[in-house]
Amino acid sequence: MRVLAATSEIYPLVKTGGLADVAGALPLALARSGIETRTVVPGYRAVMAAARGRKVAAWEHLFGGPARLVAAEAAGLQLYVVDAPHLFDRQGGLYVDASGQDWPDNWQRFAALSRVTAEIAGGLIKGWRPDLVHVHDWQAALAPAYMRHGAAPAMLSIVTVHNLAFQGRFPAAIFAGLGLPDAAFSLDGVEYYGGVGFLKAGLQAASAITTVSPTYAQEIRTPEFGMGLDGLINARAADLHGIVNGIDTEEWNPKTDRHLAANYGPGRLGARNRNAAALAGEFDLDADHSPLLAVISRLTWQKGMDVLAESIDAIVAAGARLALLGSGDAAIEGELLAAVPRHRGRVGVRIGYDEALSHLLQGGADAILVPSRFEPCGLTQLYGLRYGCIPIVARTGGLADTVVDANHAALDAGCATGFQFAAAERGQLVATVARAIAVHRDAGAWARMQRRAMKADVSWDKSAAQYAELYRRLIGENDKTP
């Protein structure tokens, strides 16, 4: 089977969040099921430096300038790189400029990604054509619309929603520049509340829709989580599937992780003490035996970081230390940083992102806090399970699907792997941290929970098998269509 994927970021070449991890890991996992995946990615500077290859197509004018399509291989991934310097070769972030503002031509940049994907689906590459196209998030979601309206109308497609809050909405004035027929600007096309909706267009045109956890697939059918698209999603409920993400268990392996002060496994949990000591040194925390809680997150309202900021005093008073790594909303950053001088030796905050430090946090902290208001899947808690860093999570989306709450029944039955609380609210968070601290006082019970967590299957194996089954089902149903 041949699958053409499309994504705006892919690990290890370029990354801003979990989308890149999924886009990089899923093709490798699918290969074990005999599925060949080639992924279309933008030609950012980092991608062009890492993925040198051969030109397989070219355009004189692709949304404002010349472009090439380069077939390349990097990190075991087969790629089609859209080398369009006027769209992707620039200083700043993938989606925002140096000041944090969206690039004003984002609609052109990701329309280009989508259109090239559709053209490949339609036979652009001599000798290679996919059986199915799988696109990720709004940045590639216009591809099914391009296919439907001319490039490859019979091609099967899947749109995976990693976060419905990000939709790619633009004013109606851009429609004329997309190169779609007038008929596409309609309720069952790309039109969305009078403008153009990239994700909406993909959800409308794709053969199937997936989200990154079963619970999130149900949540987005409600007005609370549907972000204005719940009506469309409910209309397509029969085509909606929730498949939880996995993680790269080679990259995230406490037995071999080069970023740790000491490697360990379920049978050598004592070695985590060296990581805890290194972590305390990194964050200027007291070197004692009180529970050390970690946070690795974007500092945003969605992630519940405002609730965490309100709860720090109570968490410290309960007897815990806190080490936080992240960046985001300036006001939240300020509130978190202000807690450091109030609680010297008990709270440490590092603004920014550091891949190596994120590994040490998982390998040295006792627990990882994830108080999200909504969380389509979440990878942080999966890393926590893998490293015996017990997740303390809000009961939403993939967090609810991957962590077994340590209530009395689960502790007695020996199946608990973490702690859940009902909502991202100060009282709930503080009470659940207190519950975790109480269990932590029983070193034997805590170690048993760590070992259970570390045995949880957080790999891509099951999830990739579910994607493979969905691919085969769609292709099988399509073959039966007269």
Paired sense of beta strands 169-170 and 191-192, if any = unpaired
Using DSSP's 3-state secondary structure scheme, residue 3 falls into: strand
- Beta bridge partners of residue 227, listed in sequence order: none
Q: Of 245, 282, 349, which Cα lies nearest the Cα of 25? A: 245
Tens-place pLDDT, residues 216-227? 999 999 999 999
pLDDT value at residue 353: 87
| Residue with the two structure tokens 């974007």 | 298
Query: Following DSSP, what letter does each residue of 126-160 receive, concatenated?
Result: TT---SEEEEEHHHHTTHHHHIIIII-TT-EEEEE
Percent of the chain scoring above 90 in pLDDT = 95
Q: Over 80: is that where the pLDDT of 482 sits?
A: no
Tens-place pLDDT, residues 408-435? 999 999 999 999 999 899 999 999 999 9
For 102, residues 6+ apart whose C-beta sits below 8 A from its C-beta are 95, 96
Q: In angstroms, how far is the first alpha carbon of the chain from the final one?
A: 21
User: How far is the C-alpha of 295 from the C-alpha of 368, rounded, in Å?
Assistant: 6
Tokens of 122: 């339609």
pLDDT value at residue 403: 98
Q: Over 90: is that where the pLDDT of 480 sits?
A: no
Q: Over 90: is that where the pLDDT of 328 sits?
A: yes
Domain boundaries, the chain: 2-246+461-480, 269-455
Paired sense of beta strands 53-59 and 67-74, if any = antiparallel
Cis peptide before 12 (omega within 30 of 0): yes
What average pLDDT does this structure show over 142-161? 95
Report yes or no: 116 and 74 within 8 Å, Cβ to Cβ: no
- Please indicate whether the domains covering 2-246+461-480 and 269-455 agree at the CATH topology level: yes
Tens-place pLDDT, residues 238-262? 999 999 999 999 999 999 999 999 9
Q: Of 169, 145, 2, which Cα lies nearest the Cα of 78? A: 2
Tokens of 376: 């389509």
Tens-place pLDDT, residues 38-72? 999 999 999 999 988 999 999 999 999 999 999 99
User: How far is the C-alpha of 147 from the C-alpha of 167, rounded, in Å?
Assistant: 19
Report yes or no: 264 and 272 within 8 Å, Cβ to Cβ: yes
Tokens of 322: 């806190």
Tens-place pLDDT, residues 82-108? 999 999 999 989 999 988 899 999 999
* CATH of span 2-246+461-480: 3.40.50.2000
pLDDT value at residue 478: 78
Report yes or no: 41 and 10 within 8 Å, Cβ to Cβ: yes
Cis peptide before 223 (omega within 30 of 0): no
pLDDT value at residue 150: 87
Domain 269-455: CATH class, spelled out: alpha beta
| Residue with the two structure tokens 């929603």 | 161
Three-class HEC string of 191-250: EECCEEEHHHHHHHHCCEEEECCHHHHHHCCCHHHHCCCHHHHHHCHHHEEECCCCCCCC
